[in-house]
Amino acid sequence: MRIATVVVLGLLITAVATAQDYPVDHQGTFSIIGRDPATGELGMAVQSKTIAVGARTRSGKGGLAVMAHQSASNPFYGELGIELLQAGLTPQQALDTMLRADEGRDSRQVAILDIQGRTAAWTSSTITDWKGHHCGVNYCAQGNTLTGPEVVDAMVKSFESSSGPLAERLLDAICAGQQAGGDKRGTESAALWILKPLSQAGYGDRALDLRVDESKAPIPELRRILTAVRSQDAVGDATRLITKGDLQGALKMVESAREKSPEMDVVWVALANIHLRMNAKAEALKDVAKAIELNPANKRQLPLNPNFKALLDDADFKKLTGS
């Protein structure tokens, strides 16, 4: 206990010396941090009328905690917060320690959620209205420069009533917040961040790190990107089914990915591979044509792909690829 106390005191001294060095840059923001107790994932979704909000307002470590620091964001809260939590402090103790060290605390909004589901949050009374936060079981929702309390309320209701993967639940929550009014200045950037429990000797905790840095509709674009990620994952899962000889299962999986992400050429390449293995050459060639239409680089790449070796002498394939 004495060692932990010494460590914390040393960190606090460092914090007092460095917390003020980061320039104040006010960013109206709403966000939600969440935890999935079944998978051990932690995550955050955020939206703001500033460019690249995801580059500044989030910190965390897989298997430990996730933190939102906004209004006037400061990475000090993430860096020191991780060290304080690793030293054995609770989220509330860590937050109290950092706020005491920070002369700029009155410009901050901070929330912490640890791997045990414990939370702590701070919303300064002097940042731009409307501002507020609400922490519940496995989440904290917070925002400032909002149209009203209904924004945070909508995020809370969405998260508490949802199920499924954490990424989709967090994205649905900020979508609900936006539909309730969101940032009163409008929209510009959004981000989604999922941390998995640390693996591979302490590395590789980022399961997802998606950002839309400048857009008139950042949340819909973030959803499109997440859907594309899920479709790409489905192609990988289908490849594993192919190696097990389950072509029907692979076909069903990739067809579902095609319906969700018809603009992804990799989905059409995967379909062509499956159709060819099922001796449906005509369908495979249609898939090849679509893949090339979406990405002309496939004209060069497909003849080099071992999966299409059987088509190398096919006249239609040669015409499509120019080989």
Q: 49-73: per-residue pLDDT in tens?
A: 999 998 889 999 999 999 999 988 8
**Per-chain mean pLDDT for the chain:** 91
Name residue 167's amino acid. A
Residues in contact with 289: Cβ distance below 8 Å, sequence separation at least 6, in sequence order = 320
pTM for this predicted structure: 0.88
Q: For 84, which DSSP code?
A: H
Q: What is the pLDDT of residue 24?
A: 44
Question: pLDDT tens for residues 234-262?
Answer: 999 999 999 999 999 999 999 999 999 99
| Distance from C-alpha of 60 to C-alpha of 58, rounded to nearest angstrom | 7
Share of the chain above pLDDT 90, in %: 82
Instruction: Count CA atoms closer than 13 A to 160's CA, side-chain side.
Output: 12
Buried b (16+ CB within 10 A) or exposed e, 196-224: beeeeeeeebebbebbbeeeeebbebbbe
Phi-psi region of 195 (alpha: psi -120 to 50; beta: other; left: phi over 0): beta
3-state helix, strand, coil in the chain (%, to 5): 50, 20, 30
% the chain with pLDDT above 70: 90
Predicted confidence band of residue 315 (pLDDT cuts 50, 70, 90): very high
Position 92 scores a pLDDT of 97
Give the tens place of pLDDT for each residue, 94-120.
Answer: 999 999 998 889 999 999 999 999 999
Radius of gyration of the chain from Cα atoms?
24
**CATH architecture assigned to 22-73+106-216:** 4-Layer Sandwich (3.60)
Q: What's the CA angle centered on 31, arms 27 and 34, to 5 degrees?
A: 150
User: Above 70 in pLDDT, residue 11?
Assistant: no
CATH number of 229-321, picked from 1.25.40.10, 1.10.10.10, 3.30.390.50, 2.30.42.10 = 1.25.40.10
d(CA 92, CA 80): 14
pLDDT at 201: 67
Supply the pLDDT for residue 113.
98
| Contact in structure between 212 and 221 (CB atoms under 8 Å) | yes
Structure tokens at 234: 């489905």
Query: Average pLDDT of 124-135?
Result: 94
Q: Which residues pair with 119 in a beta bridge?
A: 113
Given this model, what pLDDT does residue 72 score? 83
Which sequence spans correspond to the domains of the chain?
22-73+106-216, 229-321
Contacts of 147 (CB under 8 A, 6+ apart): 130, 180, 181, 182, 183, 184
Reported confidence tier of residue 3, pLDDT bands at 50, 70, 90: very low
Read off the pLDDT of residues 162-215 as tens digits, 9 standing for 90 and up: 999 999 999 999 999 999 999 999 999 999 999 999 766 667 899 999 999 999
**DSSP per-residue codes, 52-83:** TGGGTSEEEETTTEEEEEEEE--THHHHHHHH
Q: Indicate the DSSP class of residue 145.
A: S
Residue range 263-286: average pLDDT?
A: 97
